Structure 1
Amino acid sequence: MHSQTLPLAPGQRRFATASAVLGWFALAVQLYLILWGRWTDQASLVGGLVRFFSFFTVLTNTLVAVALTCAITDRCGAAHRFFRSPIVCAGITTSILLVSIAYNLLLRHLWTPEGWQWVADELLHDVMPLLFVGYWWLYVTKGLLGLKHLLAWIAYPAVYFAWLLFRGNAFGDYLYPFLDIGTLGLGRVVINAFGVLAGFVVIGLIIVLIDRLKARRVQNR
């Protein structure tokens, strides 16, 4: 897999560092809020951790924070090479854009968070997606993407959906109302899931197209 081995571009370290710090901060706030809620309800904290890492938003923002952290470290291990890969970064970009778009279209109107929950909500769903898209646009090598990579990226939301169904069947908690089989039924949930997956594919196609156009523009200079 291709690895970004070139020296960091001017401003890249500062941008990635600030974005990584903000990303980890947002995740820490959200984790605290979930665990605090479990504590006050005298519920299992381990269950709180499982719930925290069961959200697609949390998983994808964790990938964003890890990729940004790997970008500014000097290590050359397999994990660092993986998360520096332009192909992986483009896949994460596609996923974090899906997080933001799906949340703002399907979920934002369902609640009105306040205080620190509002802070975490805005950071995870709006700020971090914009920052990582900016990072990908400005600093990640272009010209390496193809449709085969989009097919590989689809595995992430597909596996997540399978996990969500398993978790929901086991605990009766589907996390996202548009994927709640208990309320909507399996048929409707499958339609909704394919709709979200179609949105992912459209976003991915746009990312691949931008990648090719920007690479061609650079070559023609």
Structure 2
Amino acid sequence: MRKTLALLFCLIGWFAIIAQYYLMLKNSTVSFPETNIRFFSYFTILTNLIVALYFTRQVWSNPPSENKNPGILTGITVYIVIVGLVYQVILRSTWSPTGLQKVVDELLHSVIPVLVLIYWYLYENTSSLNYNQIPKWSIYPLLYLCYILIRGSFSGFYPYPFIDADTLGLLNVIANSIWILIFFIGLSMLLIRLGKSVHR
């Protein structure tokens, strides 16, 4: 059952990423290299890529592979749940996709976060979870933020309005980032707490 779910979630993840890449190339108004850089500048895309790679590994490995990297599923779950919640609360109202774009949009921001959360509930080795893992989980989003701010200062491209330093100013972007970091830590602590309360 575990590998069946991993395979299903893997296929859904790769379909959503590849379809979004196709749509971005199709609708791009910038050069091919710049389009590719921008595609991989979205936290949504990078995080869904991590999810797809994780489930791909689950399909080909003998479970539980998490024993070699305790807590990795919880970290990934925190990332993708943040993708979903930030989209629902902040970004959903900013555009109205149609057709294939709407399908892909819902997969990346709604369906996949829920699927990962379900998989986490069913299969995470909760005995491996502890609060000391949170700083390690925060490395990825912090590196992402640094990359976006540095590249944005040269290119003028910021993938999300709440980190657009040219429009909001650097101090406001830092303030927004701190709030998201606080939310990240809170969500991490919540999942650890919930995980330890669930009998395995």
Amino acid at match of 1:18: L
Q: How does 1:45-194 map to 2 (within 5 A)?
A: 45-74=32-61, 85-194=69-178
Cα distance change of structure 1 residues 189 and 74 upon mapping to structure 2, 3 Å threshold: closer
Matches of 2:104 and 2:39, distance apart in 1: 13
CA contact (8 A) 1:26 1:120 kept: yes
CA contact (8 A) 1:174 1:180 kept: yes
CA contact (8 A) 2:66 2:125 kept: no
Query: In terms of Rg, which structure is larger?
Result: 1
Amino acid at match of 1:52: F
Equivalent residue pairs, number: 200
Identity %: 35
Matches of 1:197 and 1:131, distance apart in 2: 23
2:184 to 200, 205, 213: 200
Deviations 1:160-199 (A, max 9, x none): 1101101211110111111111111111111111111111
Amino acid at match of 1:28: I
CA contact (8 A) 1:67 1:83 kept: no
CA contact (8 A) 2:58 2:65 kept: no
* Greater than 4 Å deviation, 4+ residue runs: 80-84
* 5+ residue gaps, structure 1: 1-10
Cα distance change of structure 1 residues 22 and 198 upon mapping to structure 2, 3 Å threshold: same
Amino acid at match of 2:149: L
Matches of 2:62 and 2:26, distance apart in 1: 35
CA contact (8 A) 2:73 2:124 kept: yes
Cα distance change of structure 1 residues 127 and 84 upon mapping to structure 2, 3 Å threshold: farther
Q: CA RMSD in A?
A: 1.9
* 5+ residue gaps, structure 2: none
Matches of 2:159 and 2:123, distance apart in 1: 34
